[in-house]
Chain A
């Protein structure tokens, strides 16, 4: 609160003393940290290993058994019923008793010095295997898409909690003066179900919510100053908006007004920074080819490249959503051509992102996380084509950069892939570890709401040091 008051006084002083500063100048005077003040003023808690996060969210739940986890026993028992003892007490979204085991039809091979297994669907990722820290033992709690997506994003299966990007924004503020602290990019046939609450700020001040760029050709509309206005007039305009809003804030002290003041200051700066951000024309041909970006065409690949440009410019948390991973076995979503299609869309760009970050020296400071809200079952689901159901007891995600162990494979599942037998990593542990890498102690990153301190990790979570370099 003390910091807040200081900031307000200073802002008030600046906007009321006729210094004639444009709000752009105002922003730079205040400095980056002030833009998104942390809650304790003492952050980070310890020296960070990572400054930024790129979270590649594969919405729908990718099949670990067709991508990362070859299971010879499953190949052998293809089509056999699952022993009752295994199914007892387990939850699946759709399949019932009598479900049959399903072998993967994909060829696997080992990659790199780490010997990471990946299927033929991930040829490019195989090439960066030695950069990855593959966690084969993820465990989540929620069986359906909505709650599970919320859980992976907010640590809780219901609405109302802040998303991890918001926690990080609140805890660390921004390194980027001219761009939002937390940006959301979307690709695939539609947006992720649930939508905004996945990147919402919950009970944190709303200025920490993720800013979703449009998924079309123009990620941000209205970046141009209206025709006829000079840059100086636009500055005067933003300054006047700020001044009058500040008057209201002085009267009402509503945090929402403060968020709006900051949104306008950021908007003013984005007018300068964003056109350059979204303009890929300075990217070399080889970079575009590396990612597989078609200029002007929205895609996951374009979003990966944009993500690199965002972290390059200091954006703290970038989250990409790519949909269509829910391969139950319908005509549109099954483990045949549709899985090939969606892996083709993400394989090359994801590998390119890691390579590109590495060659620019950004991977050291950038934590890349790849994965979905859950995995898929070892059993098949009987629909019109081959598919698997949601599986929450074991699935695969991977991390790269940002202080994680490169070329590392963590955790093990049983021979059929039902349960984790070693090194289970619950979602809250992933969160604790991510925060740790960013210099934040998940036990101390708390926010008082309704008389109680809340955390991203709820009442659970352990930092998993075995994943760290």
Chain B
């Protein structure tokens, strides 16, 4: 059922070669560029590497030329009419025609093949042996000759020769250079991600010196904002985020890596160093802190903090992500197909995949999370912090030694403690409730005195339990939450993970004889067998059930599926002759069924004994086990427990705790670290970590050049060096192509993430090679590459569409003009910030929280913090905005930035009414329009028309046309009148704080003007 695919769709190139009006003989047919795609597209399924119908394999020269089983030569060089391949394509008998049972090839494709045969069917030299690769991107980069062009005067550098060569071949002319104002805006947006200021524009427009453009380019390349712009591109690839991802999505501290990237671009770290530091900075000799921070590149993988996740599965997922990302970013190849099976179209085998996997398989991070461990992290203390840490550590050392000392007296003390522990554990009397009641859902009392909530149950509930207790004294109460096989993950909670949040726990008592006379009891010193502590902003300690805050509480992830207990002491032990009535209130306000499904309550008359510290039944069982029947591990566990509670050491412990608390908490960042002992890598059958196959050593795909010299063990450092080796045919082509894409909208290879045989062909194959070669020769300078591209006449062209051009080349692949590109989300908001005059140019540091719509987090699995920033952090560049993977800043997603999940090689701009709604109505944007209003009104005593002209220039860099100015003036007038009539509306709409002397109606009307300018096509477009 294979249908015919039109030739034009696959590259456009081969077809364009044959556009009407062009003489066929003029153009040399190139195997890799023109012929291979046709063969791959139409013939490969039956005559490729997987299947060779009739013994014919068309990607092997010998086989193709000599023919298949029939013995008829497939190709007779120079003679299409004797070449079986060609004859079968033009065959009229459907039984014999190829492709079999399918539509004939398009005439253009057949003609291309025919012309190639006529030209002697040249086959790329290095693959003359039948083994080597033939696909263009796998062949070595070679510096091509510059094409001859007619209009040499148009060319500013070599790039232009390649572009003009194609244009002239098509009978097209390039566009004139864009106007100065457009050029400076284009350059500023492309290089810095920020629009130019009015002064910068004026200076450049008026600069008559011949090197004005070059000076401008140098100024921009030297600006620290350059690193923010191009660093952001790299962070897209690095799948950078400030959270761990998956549905749980806890916070992580990773911004030092982000700052490293920005800094690396600013100091133009050569690309080989840039690569090595990120992939293997920890493995170089004597790595600097910077190099360690750089290894965060591959720690940007997601971590699954869900309960019940197999850490090994999560670890394997992260390693796969590292392989896939490396493949995408450096090799421009979709390796992930080869996780489960050899790549269908490209020569990557499944073995190749797991040989690459082996490079990354040695890292220390364990996957999932263990306690609060999210893999190796690096502390980055300030000098003061470092000194303080050293001081504290040195004080702690002897204290720790004292804790670990062991004496016969302590041995005796432990045995005594065990006895007391066993005895005190029995102090608890479980109380059978007299009545139970729930605000929502049903509770029932079980035979053993425990309380069971009905299955399912409401999202939130408050339970009230009434118990009568004849004892006179009351010192402590205990809440057992019990596993429940019917609940999700066996409870004890009713959430999908078996969790609950006890937001408040309260007790009131009354004398039994006067049971209505209830008075609240102050509870203190809450302790629990376990509490949830997954991250700084994900702590749910049991004390929080006493704090009167309904947003906090006690929860137990990840240890669901088993019983836990909490003990609460009374601030003042009570005594009531005749016994007392106890009324417990268990509030559970979190929602999403974070309610307790099964629980029991107990009370104790005595001040809490040792047993109350520890409520884990298994320890109790251990303590009851005779000493000589305990295993060494059990004895050790019990000893640790004893020590944790040994009064003589309390002082030491308290000192240690105080010191620990006083220890500075420096900023941290996740880093790569090699595990001490080597892991063996297996091929994983079907990609499953549970189905290991053969063992594999680290290595690189065989069809690519071999690894360079390595040490005893082959490690990530060898891989990094191999990637940036000049012989690697992919890395530098992929890199220059992506830079090109950022500056023109589409790459020379449109499929910037797939340089394989299924990807698009380069529109200018010689150009991509020339750029890659120049990049390598000239010190791998990223700024140098950008400098060269933006210096070209090609880049400097006007972007205005031209009617005839649009017909021939609607997607602007030949670049007879620049492209008009919708600004990235960040550039768009940053442009508003610049125009408003509010932008903070502060660089780096922890992420910030600009205003965002309410309710964004309503459906994230865990609550997220968004403490909207005040002061300058409200107006920082957008790349510093906190990024939650599960719920990114909505402005970013609305404007097509879907980040942090996998390497994002290209933002795909869309143009939707939802974007219009956001730019028009988002209060965040209105606030910035207000900034622009105050800036405009602060320009002193000038005519409104002049004021409008300035505001227009701030946003669009050019002078308004008369029509435009009239329209703006009418609009301003209209708004002034409207707000005059509705001063309340003006007060609501204008900025909150007005400088002295600024009229609220004026401020409101000018805010409307700012808002209008921010919403113009020209404002959101880089032209």
Q: Are A237 and B1008 in contact, with the CB atoms below 8 A?
A: yes
Number of interface residues of A (CB under 8 A): 89
Report B972-1007 residues with CB < 8 Å from chain A CB: 974-975, 978, 982, 984-990, 1004
Given contacts A94-B686, A216-B858, A267-B916, contact A222 B921 (CB under 8 A): yes
Taking the nearest CB of chain A, how far is it from the CB of B189, in angstroms?
16
Q: Are B810 and A267 in contact, with the CB atoms below 8 A?
A: no
Contact with B along A231-252 (1 / 0, CB 8 A): 0110011101101110111011
Q: Are B5 and A263 in contact, with the CB atoms below 8 A?
A: no
Spot the interface stretch: A204-212, A352-360, A437-445: A204-212
Q: Are A244 and B1016 in contact, with the CB atoms below 8 A?
A: yes
Specify which chain B residues have a CB less than 8 angstroms from the CB of A297 in the assembled complex. Answer: 859
CA distance A227 to B922 in the complex (A): 10
A451's partner among B4, B15, B340, B908 (CB-CB below 8 A) is B15
CA distance A195 to B853 in the complex (A): 24
Q: Are B1012 and A232 in contact, with the CB atoms below 8 A?
A: no
The reply to whether the CB of A460 lies closer than 8 angstroms to some CB of chain B is yes
CA distance A238 to B16 in the complex (A): 42
The reply to whether the CB of B341 lies closer than 8 angstroms to some CB of chain A is yes
Residue of A nearest to B921 (CB): A222
CA distance A270 to B99 in the complex (A): 51
Taking the nearest CB of chain A, how far is it from the CB of B634, in angstroms?
32
Interface of A (DSSP majority class): loop
Contact with B along A147-159 (1 / 0, CB 8 A): 0000000001011
Specify which chain A residues have a CB less than 8 angstroms from the CB of B890 in the assembled complex. Answer: 214, 221
The reply to whether the CB of B1018 lies closer than 8 angstroms to some CB of chain A is yes
Q: Are B1012 and A260 in contact, with the CB atoms below 8 A?
A: no
Spot the interface stretch: A73-81, A103-111, A285-293, A376-384: A376-384
The reply to whether the CB of B391 lies closer than 8 angstroms to some CB of chain A is no
The reply to whether the CB of B175 lies closer than 8 angstroms to some CB of chain A is no
Spot the interface stretch: B640-648, B649-657, B789-797, B960-968: B960-968
CA distance A94 to B350 in the complex (A): 11
Specify which chain A residues have a CB less than 8 angstroms from the CB of B963 in the assembled complex. Answer: 247
Q: Are A222 and B920 in contact, with the CB atoms below 8 A?
A: yes
Taking the nearest CB of chain A, how far is it from the CB of B944, in angstroms?
16
Taking the nearest CB of chain B, how far is it from the CB of A277, in angstroms?
13
Residue of A nearest to B1023 (CB): A252
CA distance A209 to B853 in the complex (A): 26
B6's partner among A93, A94, A143, A459 (CB-CB below 8 A) is A459
The reply to whether the CB of A21 lies closer than 8 angstroms to some CB of chain B is no
Q: Are B856 and A216 in contact, with the CB atoms below 8 A?
A: yes
Q: Are B975 and A236 in contact, with the CB atoms below 8 A?
A: yes
Contact with A along B686-730 (1 / 0, CB 8 A): 111011000000000000000000000000000000000000000
Q: Are B691 and A382 in contact, with the CB atoms below 8 A?
A: yes
Contact with B along A89-103 (1 / 0, CB 8 A): 100011110000000
A94's partner among B103, B340, B914 (CB-CB below 8 A) is B340
Contact with B along A196-222 (1 / 0, CB 8 A): 110010010011010101101110111
Contact with A along B832-867 (1 / 0, CB 8 A): 000000000000000000000101101100000000
CA distance A271 to B859 in the complex (A): 24
Contact with B along A424-463 (1 / 0, CB 8 A): 1010100000000000000000000111101000111000
The reply to whether the CB of B1 lies closer than 8 angstroms to some CB of chain A is yes
CA distance A82 to B825 in the complex (A): 53
The reply to whether the CB of B212 lies closer than 8 angstroms to some CB of chain A is no
Q: Are B894 and A221 in contact, with the CB atoms below 8 A?
A: yes
The reply to whether the CB of B441 lies closer than 8 angstroms to some CB of chain A is no
Specify which chain B residues have a CB less than 8 angstroms from the CB of A223 in the assembled complex. Answer: 917, 921
B908's partner among A197, A220, A256 (CB-CB below 8 A) is A197
B51's partner among A89, A213, A243, A451 (CB-CB below 8 A) is A89
Residue of A nearest to B821 (CB): A256
Q: Are B917 and A227 in contact, with the CB atoms below 8 A?
A: no
Q: Are A241 and B1016 in contact, with the CB atoms below 8 A?
A: yes
Contact with A along B1-21 (1 / 0, CB 8 A): 111111011101001100100
Taking the nearest CB of chain B, how far is it from the CB of A418, in angstroms?
14
Specify which chain B residues have a CB less than 8 angstroms from the CB of A221 in the assembled complex. Answer: 853, 890, 894, 914, 917-918, 922
Q: Are B103 and A459 in contact, with the CB atoms below 8 A?
A: yes
CA distance A241 to B913 in the complex (A): 13
Q: Are A381 and B686 in contact, with the CB atoms below 8 A?
A: yes
CA distance A266 to B894 in the complex (A): 16
CA distance A232 to B974 in the complex (A): 10
CA distance A216 to B864 in the complex (A): 15
Specify which chain A residues have a CB less than 8 angstroms from the CB of B16 in the assembled complex. Answer: 450
CA distance A249 to B894 in the complex (A): 24
The reply to whether the CB of B915 lies closer than 8 angstroms to some CB of chain A is yes
The reply to whether the CB of B811 lies closer than 8 angstroms to some CB of chain A is yes
The reply to whether the CB of B898 lies closer than 8 angstroms to some CB of chain A is yes
Specify which chain A residues have a CB less than 8 angstroms from the CB of B1020 in the assembled complex. Answer: 260
A232's partner among B690, B691, B978 (CB-CB below 8 A) is B978
Specify which chain A residues have a CB less than 8 angstroms from the CB of B1012 in the assembled complex. Answer: 237, 240-241, 244
CA distance A452 to B801 in the complex (A): 20
Taking the nearest CB of chain B, how far is it from the CB of A337, in angstroms?
12
Given contacts A232-B978, A252-B800, contact A226 B926 (CB under 8 A): yes
Residue of A nearest to B12 (CB): A450
The reply to whether the CB of A264 lies closer than 8 angstroms to some CB of chain B is yes
CA distance A418 to B153 in the complex (A): 65
Taking the nearest CB of chain B, how far is it from the CB of A452, in angstroms?
5
Given contacts A230-B982, A451-B15, contact A206 B987 (CB under 8 A): no
Contact with A along B326-344 (1 / 0, CB 8 A): 0000000000010011001
Specify which chain B residues have a CB less than 8 angstroms from the CB of A48 in the assembled complex. Answer: none
Taking the nearest CB of chain B, how far is it from the CB of A265, in angstroms?
8
Residue of A nearest to B1013 (CB): A244
Residue of B nearest to A232 (CB): B978
B916's partner among A94, A143, A158, A264 (CB-CB below 8 A) is A264
Residue of B nearest to A89 (CB): B51
Report A313-372 residues with CB < 8 Å from chain B CB: 328, 330-331
Given contacts A206-B910, A211-B913, A216-B858, contact A451 B920 (CB under 8 A): no
Q: Are A260 and B1017 in contact, with the CB atoms below 8 A?
A: yes
Taking the nearest CB of chain B, how far is it from the CB of A194, in angstroms?
11
Report A168-206 residues with CB < 8 Å from chain B CB: 180, 189, 195-197, 200, 203, 206
CA distance A260 to B801 in the complex (A): 16
The reply to whether the CB of A86 lies closer than 8 angstroms to some CB of chain B is no
The reply to whether the CB of B675 lies closer than 8 angstroms to some CB of chain A is no
CA distance A452 to B10 in the complex (A): 13
Taking the nearest CB of chain A, how far is it from the CB of B903, in angstroms?
14
CA distance A330 to B921 in the complex (A): 45
Taking the nearest CB of chain A, how far is it from the CB of B81, in angstroms?
27
Specify which chain B residues have a CB less than 8 angstroms from the CB of A259 in the assembled complex. Answer: 911
Given contacts A245-B1017, A382-B686, contact A458 B989 (CB under 8 A): no
CA distance A284 to B1020 in the complex (A): 43
CA distance A111 to B914 in the complex (A): 43
Q: Are B964 and A228 in contact, with the CB atoms below 8 A?
A: no
Q: Are B917 and A220 in contact, with the CB atoms below 8 A?
A: yes
Specify which chain B residues have a CB less than 8 angstroms from the CB of A382 in the assembled complex. Answer: 686, 691
The reply to whether the CB of B896 lies closer than 8 angstroms to some CB of chain A is yes
The reply to whether the CB of A17 lies closer than 8 angstroms to some CB of chain B is no
The reply to whether the CB of B550 lies closer than 8 angstroms to some CB of chain A is no
CA distance A161 to B247 in the complex (A): 33
CA distance A232 to B1 in the complex (A): 58
Report B497-523 residues with CB < 8 Å from chain A CB: none
Chain A CB count within 10 A is highest, among B5, B896, B920, for: B920
CA distance A361 to B864 in the complex (A): 44
CA distance A96 to B912 in the complex (A): 45
Taking the nearest CB of chain A, how far is it from the CB of B106, in angstroms?
9
CA distance A203 to B1018 in the complex (A): 22
- In the A-B complex, the 4 residue pairs with the smallest Cβ-Cβ separation, listed nearest first, are A228-B989, A228-B988, A267-B916, A222-B921
With A217-B855, A267-B914, A384-B690 already in contact, 8 other A-B pairs whose C-beta atoms are closer than 8 Å = A180-B912, A196-B896, A221-B853, A229-B989, A233-B985, A251-B800, A253-B803, A263-B913
Of the A-B pairs whose beta carbons lie under 8 Å apart in the complex, a sample of 7, sorted by A's number, is: A200-B910, A237-B971, A241-B1016, A253-B801, A267-B916, A450-B811, A451-B808
